[in-house]
Amino acid sequence: MTPGEILLPEGRLETGWWGPGPQATPTLVLLHEGLGSLGLWRDFPARLAAATGCGVFAFSRFGYGHSDPAALPRPLDYLRREACEVLPRVLDAAGLQWGLLLGHSDGGSIAAIHAGLVRDPRLRGIVVIAPHFVTEPMGLAAIEETRGRYEAGELRARLARHHRHVDVAFRGWCDTWLDPRFPASFDLRPDITGIRVPVLAIQGEADPYGTPEQLHLLAREAAGPVEVMLLPGIGHAPQAEAPEAVLHAVRGFVARLLPPGGEGGGSDARAAAL
């Protein structure tokens, strides 16, 4: 990994880059989960770069990893704000030319919102892993159970190894999802109807935070084509629990959308392809 940083008016974001830079090849941009960070992708970015031949860029959102903290409490529409207000500036600062977004959990929701509302001409498609578009009782119950483990101390100690501001990272996610007002306010169906780029949607059938209905909802609502991949016996992090299957699926998806020798040049070529 080549470490770096992005400076926005809100503060500093830690970044990492694997493989070729954005001028040389398409870029896969990774968007982490609600308790994730740049470092918690572990070896997945390096393996993804090797499997696809693309550059891979990742960053920790505000409040996560070694990025600057976020103000709490987070607004109930924090995912939409990340997708529409923060992410476009991060992509500009990173020098993105063309490529895909790949998001896990909260990051998957952010990728889908961005594709549906921002319509970035650099974007060829998105990969969403265990995303959320509506709340489900079983998912909220799983978050409640995770809060208990955090308050017991063991989970907090483990997360503190990866987050400089661990309470900001955890409370910003947990307290927002468990806010009594959140279920009524969280409905991304209007956002994702605008998705016109191809989507690869992956989920473990044993995911405690969401059922396969999340992906079926996306397939029904999105305007563009959606490939759904369900993995039996896999939980909330398929990229960690079934990495070979995920890498194989993403490699094929990338090859169909970003063929070698395809247009990777200027904005006119990118716009013409969409």
pLDDT in tens, 240-254: 999 999 999 999 999
Render pLDDT for 203-225 as a digit per residue (tens, 0 to 9): 999 999 999 999 999 999 999 99
Band the pLDDT of 258: cuts 50, 70, 90. confident
User: Right CATH number for 2-259 from 3.40.50.1820, 3.30.930.10, 3.30.565.10, 3.40.980.10?
Assistant: 3.40.50.1820
Render pLDDT for 41-93 as a digit per residue (tens, 0 to 9): 999 999 999 999 999 999 999 999 999 999 999 999 999 999 999 999 999 99
pLDDT at 268: 31
Render pLDDT for 173-200 as a digit per residue (tens, 0 to 9): 999 999 999 999 999 999 999 999 999 9
- What would the mean pLDDT of 139-163 be, rounded to a whole number? 97
* Percentage of the residues of the chain whose pLDDT score is greater than 90: 93
- What would the mean pLDDT of 151-157 be, rounded to a whole number? 97
**Phi and psi, residue 243, nearest 5°:** -60, -35
pLDDT of 273 above 70:
no
Residues in Cβ contact with 76 at an 8 Å cutoff, skipping those fewer than 6 apart: 176, 179, 181, 182, 185, 186
Band the pLDDT of 238: cuts 50, 70, 90. very high
Domain boundaries, the chain: 2-259
pLDDT at 269: 30
- What would the mean pLDDT of 145-156 be, rounded to a whole number? 97
Band the pLDDT of 260: cuts 50, 70, 90. low
Residues in Cβ contact with 177 at an 8 Å cutoff, skipping those fewer than 6 apart: 34, 135, 140, 143
Residues 199-230 as b/e (b if ≥16 CB within 10 A, e otherwise) read bbbbbbeebebbeeebbebbeebbeeebbebe
pLDDT at 119: 85
Question: What's the predicted TM-score (pTM) here?
Answer: 0.94
Q: Cα(85)–Cα(90) distance, rounded to whole angstroms?
A: 9
Render pLDDT for 98-139 as a digit per residue (tens, 0 to 9): 999 999 999 999 999 999 999 899 999 999 999 999 999 999
